[in-house]
Amino acid sequence: MNHSHSLWRAEASLLLRSNRNVLALILLLVLSAASVWSGIVQVQDQRATIERVEREQVRDLAAVEEANAGPEGEAGYNAYYAFMLTQDPPPPLAFAAIGQRDLQPYVLRVRALGLQSQLYDSETYNPELALPGVFDWAFVLIYLLPLVVIALGHDLVTAEREGGRLRLLLSLPGNGLWRRRVGLRYTAVLLAIGLPLIIGAMIMAAPAVSIATMILIAALYSAFWFGLAMLIGGATRASTTAAATMIGCWIILTLILPTLAQAVIARAVPVAKGVDLTLAQREVVHHGWDVPKEETFARFFVNHPEWRGQEEFEGRFHWKWYYAMHQVGDEAVAADVSAYRDSLKKRETMTKLLGYVLPGVGTMNVLHRMADTDIQGQLAYQDSIAAFHTKLRQFYYPYFFEEQAFDHSDFAMIPRYEPRSSGGTPPTEALAALAFLSLLVLALGSRRLLNAGREQGGR
């Protein structure tokens, strides 16, 4: 016990005497800390934005109420001018894996007009597999940690052979040398990537279990790269060859294959742009002005039969017709909307499958699902907006169809949006696939390393 303790200490001081290793570890620590810090800043920015918009919202609503609500107030004007705030506050783990939140709206103000013309206002769908985008902890883990593992682990055996020490090391009666060396480097890498995350989690009051799971994911992903380093380091004669091969693997596994796969998926599953849905919906609405009103109502009543028989009005314009027309516009593009969502989901499914074989993609999928910052999270926010929009319309319809006045007490009753409860759980299948892949490569690498050390006495 005491002896093995001193062996670990000796090994640690040997590791820390090497400038290259120390530099690589410090770099990882600094990058990890910087990414956590930048993630926290982004999350706090988003929170501040939400708070600011919430304050503006109070002011804006007061102005709308002032101008439109009252004993003579018309629901139509109130519904037209009262934009209602929806917001998607950053989930607890978003600071570590920002994902889609970088690009997707997290505040959106909607009114009772057609939803599809409002939903994609600031949209640019980021394909889940986008190459290095945001600088967050997940990015440092997935793209940069492997380079540090390569620096620390590619020449475990070759450097000893080149340094003229391998045969001497192998001639000693002790055992567990490689296990200690790999174990030590592995621990050091995990500390460098993990400590900033833990501190960030404490600042952000993120749930401890989730952070532990993220560390576990980092441990699995690092195990994959250490396994690969041992596999390649054990199969090559020269350190430079090993390093070059490892860098090649890094480029292929984290850059080329994901990019190619992304292109293939994009081609296999075309996705319309949300803005196309907006345009289609507006087209229908514009056209609606020229369509006979009976026709618009007939289409509206298909899904809102409760208002049948109350469509008559005098004059050329009436709010009930106007809002029915908008709703009909939404319904006209419903098939396109569901096709659009289906293909997004299909892409995500394919990305998920890809993650089963590419550990970087798998790790990203798991982290973003846990943080609830992936497309699924984005769609969930849209769903909650849609549900709210329905509630909003249902609230106004009696006022339109029964021609009730819209007084201040009515204004106070306009439904408010309740943020969805965000935060995901780790997808077990993907986590299991990552664990399987990583532990397999680790086992193969360990075997290879031991054999490489033993083969022909290290010549």
Ligand X SMILES: Nc1ncnc2c1ncn2[C@@H]1O[C@H](COP(=O)(O)OP(=O)(O)O)[C@@H](O)[C@H]1O
Binding-site ranges for another protein (CB under 8 A): 3, 6-7, 10, 14, 17-19, 163-165, 167-175, 177, 454, 456-458
CB of 20 to ligand X, least distance (A): 29
Select 182 or 354, whichever has its Cβ closest to another protein: 182
Distances (CA, A) of 62 to 59, 66, 306, 407, 411: 5, 6, 32, 13, 10
What does 287 bind: ligand X, another protein, none (CB cut-off 5 to 8 Å by kind)? none
What does 168 bind: another protein, ligand X, none (CB cut-off 5 to 8 Å by kind)? another protein
CB of 457 to another protein, least distance (A): 3
CB of 25 to another protein, least distance (A): 16
CB of 453 to another protein, least distance (A): 11
Contacts of 205 (CB under 8 A, 6+ apart): 92
CB of 455 to ligand X, least distance (A): 8
Select 59 or 459, whichever has its Cβ closest to ligand X: 459
What does 353 bind: another protein, ligand X, none (CB cut-off 5 to 8 Å by kind)? none
The residue whose two tokens read 């005497």 is 17
Helix axes 359-371, 208-235, angle to 10 degrees: 170
Radius of gyration of the chain (CA): 29
CB of 252 to ligand X, least distance (A): 32
What does 263 bind: ligand X, another protein, none (CB cut-off 5 to 8 Å by kind)? none
Select 21 or 32, whichever has its Cβ closest to another protein: 21
Select 19 or 456, whichever has its Cβ closest to ligand X: 456
Select 168 or 263, whichever has its Cβ closest to another protein: 168
Contacts of 176 (CB under 8 A, 6+ apart): 4, 7
Select 17 or 59, whichever has its Cβ closest to another protein: 17
Do the Cβ atoms of 60 and 99 come closer than 8 Å?
Answer: no
| Partners of residue 87 on adjacent β-strands | 107
Residues that bind ligand X (CB under 6 A): 456, 459
What does 171 bind: another protein, ligand X, none (CB cut-off 5 to 8 Å by kind)? another protein
Contacts of 106 (CB under 8 A, 6+ apart): 46, 49, 50, 87, 88, 89, 90, 381
Query: How far is Cα 63 from Cα 112, in angstroms, rounded to an integer?
Result: 18
CB of 454 to another protein, least distance (A): 8
Select 7 or 435, whichever has its Cβ closest to another protein: 7
Distances (CA, A) of 214 to 33, 206, 282, 358, 370: 15, 11, 44, 18, 8
What does 18 bind: ligand X, another protein, none (CB cut-off 5 to 8 Å by kind)? another protein
What does 316 bind: another protein, ligand X, none (CB cut-off 5 to 8 Å by kind)? none
Select 1 or 335, whichever has its Cβ closest to another protein: 1
What does 458 bind: another protein, ligand X, none (CB cut-off 5 to 8 Å by kind)? another protein
Q: Nearest residue by C-beta to ligand X?
A: 456
CB of 457 to ligand X, least distance (A): 7
Select 22 or 251, whichever has its Cβ closest to another protein: 22
Select 60 or 162, whichever has its Cβ closest to another protein: 162
CB of 451 to ligand X, least distance (A): 14
Nearest to 422 by CA among 351, 367, 344, 369: 369
CB of 161 to ligand X, least distance (A): 12
Nearest to 336 by CA among 378, 379, 277, 386: 277
CB of 168 to ligand X, least distance (A): 16
And the tokens for 402? 């029964």
Select 13 or 456, whichever has its Cβ closest to ligand X: 456
What does 7 bind: another protein, ligand X, none (CB cut-off 5 to 8 Å by kind)? another protein
What does 6 bind: ligand X, another protein, none (CB cut-off 5 to 8 Å by kind)? another protein
